[in-house]
Amino acid sequence: MKKRGFEFQRMEDLVNVLGESFNFVFYITSRKIDYLLSQNDHDYLIAAGRAKPWLIDYLEQPRRATDDFVE
């Protein structure tokens, strides 16, 4: 299997691609590899390194009725 990757120059481009994609495994990191953000085939969002505190903070934020959040 060939390993493939894409480099995005703007975060907006990455958000647009992920917003139009579904049901696939992805891994996001920086050139420094100081964080890893991933979604697996069970729809779990996984964070390591600098992304871990960001994900914890995001999950602790109160949800609004208008948020697209399904439990």
Closest to 28 measured CA to CA, from 19, 16, 18: 18
Q: What one-letter code names the amino acid at 44?
A: Y
Which element (helix H / strand E) includes 54?
helix 51-60
On whether the pTM is more than 0.75, the answer is: no
- Compute the distance between CA of residue 35 and CA of residue 46 in angstroms, rounded to an integer: 11
Confidence of residue 66 (pLDDT cuts 50, 70, 90): low
Query: 25-64 pLDDT, tens per residue?
Result: 999 999 999 999 999 989 899 999 999 998 899 888 887 6
